[in-house]
């Protein structure tokens, strides 16, 4: 068989889930190259062991999702993927929207979990124009307060680049940025403060008709390591100790409440439940269904 006849791309990068009367759509944006050197606070040998036991390639790859909420006649994104900041990694969120017939101008609002480049790059085009011309962009107040500052003088190159990206995206969208200072964001959506990864890092609790789903942002980046070892942080946590404390608290909460979660760095479609497993936790993925 000719190799030219073999597929080299997955045909679908979109997944729908109904939460009461709200439809939550996962949009697979990127599959980024990672490294075990990103892992902090646990022995390197332990990270290596967990990576090997997961039967995943080493160095690891990091999934990046964005989410679309369809609430009545409103279309609301939760983060926007890497977009124009993706570089060689590529970004697929816009194609995912196109595949389900949603044009950029049809997006009414974008909720931001935090202002790291892989969550806000999709807010701008390659020629530095707003990507969603009709959308309000809702950003937690603590995030705006932190990232609108200048980078600290002793900032690493990575940290300085994150500030530059935030400044660029916020400036291009300055006329549509709205500050979130209250937990009740909109009907069916409540902000949940999850600080540590960044000062204003936030999740969003979706509630409708007695059903619930927590979009938890970046509680984990490498779930095969950070769920069994919640002490494991990542290099780009702004406050590593607080990020660990927040992760432990929310993992305990969603496990006790049997609350379904969605994560921007959980394997696509990034939706499922968390259960206890020995001294840590394990992810039980949502089972795909042909109907929504």
Q: What pLDDT sits at residue 4?
A: 63
Please give the structure tokens belonging to residue 155.
Answer: 């900032």
Residue indicated by tokens 């791309």: 9
Number of H helices, E strands in the chain: 7, 16
pLDDT greater than 70 at residue 195: yes
Q: What share of the chain in percent tops pLDDT 70?
A: 98
Buried b (16+ CB within 10 A) or exposed e, 115-150: bbbbbbbbbbeeeeebbbeebbbbbbebbbebbeee
In this predicted structure, the answer to whether residue 90 has a pLDDT above a threshold of 80 is no
pLDDT at 273 over 80: yes
* Every domain of the chain and the residues it spans: 12-285
**What does pTM read for this prediction?**
0.95
Q: What does the pLDDT read at residue 12? A: 80
Cα gap 286→276, rounded to integer Å? 17
Write the pLDDT tens digit of every residue in 115-132. Answer: 999 999 999 999 999 999
Residue 5 has pLDDT above 80, yes or no: no
Write out pLDDT tens, residues 11-41: 789 999 999 999 999 999 998 999 999 999 9
The per-residue pLDDT for 1 is: 45
Is the pLDDT confidence value at 82 over 70? yes
209 has pLDDT over 90: yes
CA 151 – CA 42 distance, rounded (Å): 28
| Domain 12-285: homologous superfamily in CATH | Ribonuclease Z/Hydroxyacylglutathione hydrolase-like (3.60.15.10)
């Amino acid at each position: 068989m000719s190799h030219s006849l073999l597929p080299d791309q997955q045909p679908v990068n979109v997944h729908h889930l109904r939460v009461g009367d709200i439809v939550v759509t996962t949009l697979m944006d990127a599959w980024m190259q990672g490294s075990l050197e990103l892992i902090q606070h646990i022995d390197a040998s332990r990270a290596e062991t967990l990576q090997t036991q997961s039967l995943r390639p080493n160095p690891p790859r990091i999934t990046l999702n964005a989410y679309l909420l369809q609430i009545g006649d409103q279309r609301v994104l939760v983060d926007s993927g890497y977009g124009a900041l993706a570089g060689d990694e590529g970004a697929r969120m816009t194609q995912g929207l196109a595949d389900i017939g949603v044009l950029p101008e049809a997006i009414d609002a974008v909720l931001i979990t935090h202002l790291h480049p892989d969550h806000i790059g999709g807010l701008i085009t390659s020629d530095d124009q707003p990507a969603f011309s009709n959308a309000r962009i809702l950003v937690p107040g603590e995030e705006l307060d932190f990232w609108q500052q200048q980078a600290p003088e002793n900032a690493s190159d990575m940290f300085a680049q994150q500030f530059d990206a935030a400044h660029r995206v916020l400036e291009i969208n300055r006329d549509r940025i709205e500050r979130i200072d209250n937990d009740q964001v909109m009907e069916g959506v409540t902000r949940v403060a999850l600080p540590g990864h960044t000062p204003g890092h936030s999740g969003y609790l979706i509630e409708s008709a007695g059903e619930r789903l927590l979009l938890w942002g970046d509680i984990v980046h490498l779930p095969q390591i950070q769920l069994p070892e919640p002490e494991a942080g990542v290099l780009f946590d702004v406050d590593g100790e607080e990020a660990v404390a927040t992760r432990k608290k929310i993992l305990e909460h969603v496990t006790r409440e049997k609350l379904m979660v969605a994560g921007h760095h959980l394997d696509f479609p990034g939706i499922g439940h968390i259960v206890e497993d020995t001294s840590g936790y394990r992810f039980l993925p949502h089972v795909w269904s042909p109907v929504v």
